[in-house]
């Protein structure tokens, strides 16, 4: 039977370690850091994790299609810069428009011209970072109350971060697990040539992936800016690699075709707990950056690919 | 249509093909020089040109390493981490010993980073972009965290001498650049390793099947690439005269831009060694020109991004047809 050829990794990519890692971290933290279980800290974790989760879900969509998007961090920063710079009435449509343009450029470069996704998105990410600094050179500015309410209001008494997470998870899950688009995307990511020979169009869906990923970064940017109530042109700098680390920890194969929403949630929780734990234990922010690098190296080492190189 | 007509036309086509196959850097440099001639003629004075070439030397050295990586379908984005690490080793005063020992330590450090990169890429088959980005993050984080305890001090006198002195009017740094560039060019063209690198770039699977030691070459190339980053950091530290946590911050991105502009892309060494070197000069000249127009960091970043994207698209579109 050929059904068990890929038995080592299912399409969800979730393995024992994907689940064990966040659980172990949770247990360790609750013993070592006394302030971990306070309501304040748990709310903090929730807030810190929300933006990362939204970006990582976008990254998941691109990764299933066989690509990767390093420009999400810059897009998040640009959103923040736009919100504090222009007329509050147009900032959200403007940010969404910018996200669409960036996604189309990324997707076209990758799907039409065949540029490697990492090179393409590194380039556009650098461009967008420059643009962001042009729009708003220094941190600061005021966020309009209507936008602030998006991350501070409590409809039905629910934490706003939970609401954002729930909507993002639901949308992404519907798209990947319950739509024809999602099915085609898994096929494309697993083997673009086979999918194309079986009648799946290639260019359109890939461009759509990058657009959705950029829009996820815009959404995360709106949430984050509304929450901290001020703009920062470098607020997203770490999100590119962080989101890749999170999805890799969640069992998503960066070569495409394998990954799931529950896996990404587990990966984001792992990274969020690791960051929060180091925070509570008083580790320097720069060593935390180094630790993220180490986690990323560990996570990609778990996924043996067939090819050597980029 | 007579025979001579078609002959003329094919020759014309061939010339056109050759012209478009040349690295973008050549035409780009020409355009920039003309631009400078029209708007900022002062930049073209021999004195300033020499200074710009001197300024381009560190990038030029890093570009050699990056082009080696890209020839074998890999990439090295850990240059920033290597440079900051080298700066710390040379100037923090933590490492005991004479200047020679310090420089030796820096070289060992570079080789170790290259080996670690190669280990993840070859043995664990991880994507080189992600491995080297993570490595850069790791090194930068560790070095900055450590330097909070001790501010960087002076650079070794030897490096200051190399960075700042001149031989009969010509700065020493570009001479060093040339002294490394020529042997590398010769080596890539003449040695067995050079041919292996070409073979892997042309078709990795075929190269592997014919018994070329694929893994070993990736290791060698990554160690070499990190060592070039160390040399580049030597020059940078020598220029500044003291340690800094800002050193080599955009080395990785600029070297990527220069290599692509210089006609070397994943798996193709068409631009040779000269193309990327010219591109390193072109980028440095461009940044000087931008500064003279009063444009700052944001426009520099935008141009960097646009250049990489446009050049990558142009090459991909060309190789497809």
- Residue of chain B nearest A305, judged by CA positions: B125
- Closest by CA to B298, choosing from A282, A300, A137, is A137
Interface test with B, best of A118, A123, A132 (most B CBs within 10 A): A123
What are the percentages of helix, strand and coil residues in chain B, rounded to 5?
Answer: 75, 0, 20
Give, rounded to a whole angstrom, the gap between the first and last alpha carbons of chain B: 27
Interface test with B, best of A118, A292, A293 (most B CBs within 10 A): A293
Return the bridge partners of B171, or none.
B166
Q: Which two tokens stand for residue A67?
A: 């690509």
What percent of chain A lies above the pLDDT cut of 70? 97
B166, containing H or E segment: strand B166-167
Q: In which band, very low, low, confident or very high, does the pLDDT at A298 lie, cut at 50, 70 and 90?
A: confident
Cβ within 8 Å, pair A127-B306? yes
**Residue A81 pLDDT class (50, 70, 90 cuts):** very high
B295 close contact with A: CB closer than 8 A: no
For residue A281, what pLDDT is reported? 85
Please say whether the dihedral angle defined by the alpha carbons of residues B296, B301, B306 and B311, taken in this order, is positive or negative.
positive
Q: How confident is the model at residue A8 (pLDDT cuts 50, 70, 90)?
A: low
Contact assessment for residue A180 and residue A37, using Cβ atoms and an 8 Å cutoff:
no
Q: Determine which helix (DSSP H) or strand (DSSP E) holds A255, and give its type and residue range.
A: none
Residue A154, classified by CB atoms within 10 Å of its CB into exposed (0-12), middle (13-18) or buried (19+), is exposed
Rounded CA-CA distance A221/A235 in Å is: 9
Query: In the block, which residue shows the tokens 């900055």?
Result: B144
Q: Which residues of A touch B297 (CB under 8 A)?
A: 130, 133
pLDDT, one tens digit per residue, over A242-273 is 999 999 889 888 888 889 999 999 999 999 99
In this complex, which of A123, A284, A309 lies closest to B74 when CB atoms are compared?
Answer: A309
pLDDT at B20: 66
Cβ contacts of residue B115 below 8 Å, gap of 6+?
B219, B222, B223
How confident is the prediction for chain B on average, in pLDDT?
A: 87
Report the length, in residues, of chain B. 321
**pLDDT at position B62, please?**
96
Is B140's CB within 8 Å of A118's CB? no
Report pLDDT digits (tens) over B127-145: 888 899 899 999 999 998 8
ipTM topping 0.95: no
Looking at A89-103, A285-299, B46-60, B101-115, which range is the least confident one? A285-299
Q: Could B148 and A286 be called an inter-chain contact, meaning their C-beta atoms sit closer than 8 Å? A: yes
CB A277 within 8 A of CB A25: yes
- Is B7 part of the contact surface with chain A (CB cutoff 8 Å)? no
Residues 264-283 (B) with a CB less than 8 A from some CB of A: 266
Question: Between chains, do A130 and B301 touch, taking CB under 8 Å as contact?
Answer: yes
Q: A267 - beta bridge partners?
A: none
pLDDT over threshold 70, residue B8: no
Cβ distance A123 to B305 less than 8 Å, yes or no, reads yes
pLDDT of amino acid B146:
85
CA dihedral in degrees (A272, A83, A209, A121; nearest 10)? Answer: -80
Cite the DSSP H helix spans in A108-144.
117-135
Q: Which pLDDT score is estimated for B3?
A: 54
A-chain residues within 8 Å CB-CB of B305?
123-130
- Among B74, B121, B309, the residue with its CB nearest the CB of A123 is B309
- Tell whether B203 is within 8 A of chain A (Cβ): no
Count the helix, strand and coil residues of chain A and give each as a percent rounded to the nearest 5.
75, 0, 25
State the average pLDDT over residues A162-169. Answer: 93
Distance CA A218, CA A221 (A): 5
- Quote the CA–CA distance of B252 and B81 in Å, as a whole number: 9
Tell me the pLDDT tens digit for each residue of A185-204.
Answer: 999 998 888 998 988 888 99
pLDDT class of A12 with cuts at 50, 70, 90: confident
CB contact under 8 A, A115 and B304: no
- Local structure of residue B155 (DSSP, 8 states): P
Does the beta-carbon distance from B312 to A115 stay under 8 Å? yes
* Interatomic CA distance for residues B248 and B123, integer angstroms: 28
State the pLDDT at residue A219: 97
Q: What percent of chain B has pLDDT over 90?
A: 47
List, for residues B45-72, the tens digit of each pLDDT value: 988 999 999 999 999 999 999 999 999 9
Q: How many residues does chain A have?
A: 310
pLDDT above 70 (res A156):
yes
Question: Does the pLDDT at position A45 exceed 90?
Answer: no
Q: Of B125, B204, B256, which is closest to A305 when you measure between CB atoms? A: B125
| Nearest by CB: A290 against B141, B256, B297 | B141
pLDDT on residue A214: 97
- Determine the Cα–Cα distance for residues A231 and A83; give it in Å rounded to an integer: 7
Under 8 Å CB-to-CB from A105, ≥6 apart: which residues? Answer: A124, B309
pLDDT band for A31, please (50, 70, 90 cuts): confident
CA distance linking residue B137 with residue B182, whole number of Å: 32
- DSSP reduced 3-state for A140: strand
Beta carbons within 10 angstroms of residue A147's beta carbon: 18
- Smallest CA–CA separation between A105 and chain B, in Å? 10
Q: Could you count the other beta carbons within 10 Å of the beta carbon of residue B169?
A: 8
Rounded to the nearest angstrom, the minimum Cα separation between B144 and chain A is 6
Residue A5 has pLDDT above 70, yes or no: no
User: Does B302 touch chain A if contact means CB atoms closer than 8 Å?
Assistant: yes
Please determine, for residue A71, whether its predicted confidence score (pLDDT) is greater than 90.
yes
pLDDT value at position A6? Answer: 45
pTM of the model: 0.87
B255 CB-contact burial (10 Å; exposed 0-12 / middle 13-18 / buried 19+): buried
Residues of B in contact with A120 (CB under 8 A): 309, 312
Q: pLDDT tens-digit profile of B261-307? A: 888 877 777 778 899 999 999 999 998 998 888 888 898 889 889 98
Residues A25/A291, Cβ–Cβ less than 8 Å:
no
Handedness of CA A61, A64, A67, A69 (dihedral sign): positive
Given an 8 Å threshold on Cβ–Cβ distance, is A124 in contact with B309?
yes
CA distance B279 to chain A (A): 17
Average pLDDT taken over every residue of chain A? 89
What pLDDT, on the 0 to 100 scale, is given for residue B132?
93
- Out of A113, A291, A294, the one facing B317 most closely (by C-beta) is A113
Percentage of the residues of chain B whose pLDDT score is greater than 70: 93
Average pLDDT over residues A112-120: 89
CA-to-CA dists, residue A289 to A279, A293, B215, angstroms: 12, 6, 30
């Amino acid at each position: 039977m050929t059904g068990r050829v890929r038995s080592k990794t299912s399409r969800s990519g979730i393995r024992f370690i994907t689940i064990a890692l966040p659980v172990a971290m949770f247990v360790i933290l609750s013993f070592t850091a006394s302030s971990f279980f306070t309501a304040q800290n748990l709310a903090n974790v929730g807030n810190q994790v929300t933006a990362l989760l939204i970006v990582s879900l976008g990254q998941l969509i691109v990764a299933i299609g066989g690509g990767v998007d390093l420009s999400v961090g810059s897009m998040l920063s640009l959103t923040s810069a736009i919100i504090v710079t222009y007329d509050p009435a147009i900032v959200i449509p403007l940010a969404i428009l910018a996200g669409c343009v960036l996604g189309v450029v990324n997707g076209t470069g990758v799907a039409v011209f065949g540029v490697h996704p990492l090179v393409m998105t590194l380039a556009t990410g650098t461009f967008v970072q420059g643009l962001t600094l042009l729009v708003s050179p220094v941190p600061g500015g005021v966020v309009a109350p209507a936008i602030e309410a998006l991350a501070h209001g409590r409809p039905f008494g629910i934490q706003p971060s939970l609401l954002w997470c729930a909507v993002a998870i639901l949308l992404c899950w519907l798209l990947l697990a319950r739509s024809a688009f999602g099915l085609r995307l898994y096929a494309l990511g697993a083997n673009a040539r086979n999918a194309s020979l079986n009648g799946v169009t290639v260019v359109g869906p890939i461009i759509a992936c990058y657009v959705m990923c950029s829009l996820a970064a815009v959404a995360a940017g709106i949430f984050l800016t509304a929450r901290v109530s001020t703009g920062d042109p470098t607020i997203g700098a770490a999100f590119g690699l962080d989101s890749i680390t999170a999805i890799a920890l969640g069992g998503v194969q960066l070569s495409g075709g394998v990954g799931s929403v529950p896996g990404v949630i587990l990966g984001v929780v792992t990274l969020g707990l690791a960051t929060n734990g180091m925070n509570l234990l008083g580790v320097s922010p720069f060593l935390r950056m180094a630790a993220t690098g180490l986690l990323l190296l560990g996570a990609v080492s778990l996924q043996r690919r067939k090819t050597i190189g980029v | 249509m007579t025979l001579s007509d078609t002959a003329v036309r094919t020759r014309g086509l061939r010339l056109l093909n050759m012209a478009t196959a040349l690295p973008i850097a050549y035409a780009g440099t020409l355009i920039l020089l003309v631009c400078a001639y029209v708007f900022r003629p002062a930049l073209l004075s021999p004195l300033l040109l020499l200074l710009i070439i001197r300024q381009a030397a560190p990038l030029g050295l890093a570009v050699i390493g990056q082009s080696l990586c890209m020839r074998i379908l890999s990439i090295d984005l850990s240059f920033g981490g290597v440079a900051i690490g080298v700066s710390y080793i040379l100037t923090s005063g933590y490492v005991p010993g004479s200047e020679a020992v310090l420089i030796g330590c820096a070289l060992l450090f570079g080789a170790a980073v290259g080996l670690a990169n190669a280990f993840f890429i070859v043995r664990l088959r991880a994507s080189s972009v992600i491995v080297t980005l993570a490595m850069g993050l790791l090194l930068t984080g560790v070095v900055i965290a450590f330097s909070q305890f001790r501010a960087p001090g002076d650079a070794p006198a030897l490096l200051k001498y190399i960075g700042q002195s001149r031989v009969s009017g010509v700065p020493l740094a570009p001479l060093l650049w040339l002294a490394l560039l020529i042997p590398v060019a010769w080596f890539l063209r003449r040695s067995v390793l050079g041919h292996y690198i070409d073979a892997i770039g042309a078709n990795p699977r075929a190269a592997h099947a014919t018994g070329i030691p694929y893994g070993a070459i990736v290791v060698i190339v990554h160690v070499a690439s990190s060592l070039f980053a160390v040399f580049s950091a030597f020059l940078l530290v020598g220029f500044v005269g003291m340690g800094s946590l800002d050193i080599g911050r955009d080395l990785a991105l600029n070297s990527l831009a220069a290599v692509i502009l210089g006609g070397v892309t994943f798996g193709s060494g068409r631009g040779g060694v000269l193309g990327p070197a010219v591109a390193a000069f072109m980028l440095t000249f461009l940044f000087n020109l931008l500064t003279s127009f009063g444009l700052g960091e944001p426009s520099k970043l935008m141009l960097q991004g646009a250049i990489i994207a446009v050049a990558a698209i142009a090459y991909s579109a060309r190789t497809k047809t």
